[in-house]
Amino acid sequence: MLRLDNKVAIVTGGGSGIGKAISLLFARQGAIVCILDIDQEGATSVLQQIESEQGQANFFRCDVSKQQEVEAAVQGILEHYASIDILVNNAGISHIGTAESTTEGDFDRLLTVNVKGTYNCLNKVLPVMKNRGGVILNMASVAASLGLQDRFAYSTTKGAVVGMTLSVAKDYLPFNIRCNCISPGRVHTPFVDGYLQKHYPDNKDEMFEKLSKTQPIGRMGKPNEIAFLVLYLCSEEASFITGSDYPIDGGFLRLNT
């Protein structure tokens, strides 16, 4: 079950955090993983780990916010493998700020990576998938579904990702293309560690505990836990699922009081 044997899978931002966990899990399940990332060092490390486990993977340095780079990466993948079966739009950035404190530059930066980056990958991969179907998984967030303090720009972009997911799912039903998104809560990734180091260098442990307990389940998620949901939604076992947004948040959306 949940095998992806010889499926060609793009994972954007696959060099760290949740993207790394997805890349490793997909490879273990038989996929040919194509990592798109601007972090050459991180992506190369993931690539080496996959190869050490006898998996198949490739790395294409790509800034998803630049359509020409996405197009070049997609063409490179097609030259190697002739098809694309799965697209995981995972690459994204965050920002702390309200509508008042968020600068125009920061707002544009988040839109460019989180929204335009997702669009760029959809725009270049969908024509390939129309030939024989495929699966798309977009990375949204609980921030798309409820108000989070100081997450104005981030929430805006993740709301857009949910909207794009629904639109693609509807438009590409005739082509046997499924499109879903997931909405993680707080997940323990290098971003969290960097955030704590930057803003709370003197009480990191205390703040980590506080952030962990914002999830009713009492802890942050782990990247591999997110990866398993992505695996399911991209597998044949989920062939009846499209146009859905799945929370994976330790009860954050429904159980907080």
Active site amino acids:
154
Q: Strands of 177-184's sheet, edge to edge?
A: 56-61, 32-37, 8-12, 86-89, 134-139, 177-184, 245-248
The string of DSSP codes covering the chain is ----TT-EEEEETTTSHHHHHHHHHHHHTT-EEEEEES-HHHHHHHHHHHHHTT-EEEEEE--TTSHHHHHHHHHHHHHHHS---EEEE-------B-TTTS-HHHHHHHIIIIIIHHHHHHHHHHHHHTTT-EEEEEE--GGGTS--TTBHHHHHHHHHHHHHHHHHHHHTGGGTEEEEEEEE--B-SHHHHHHHHHH-TTSHHHHHHHHHTTSTTSS-B-HHHHHHHHHHHHSGGGTT--S-EEEESTTHHHH--
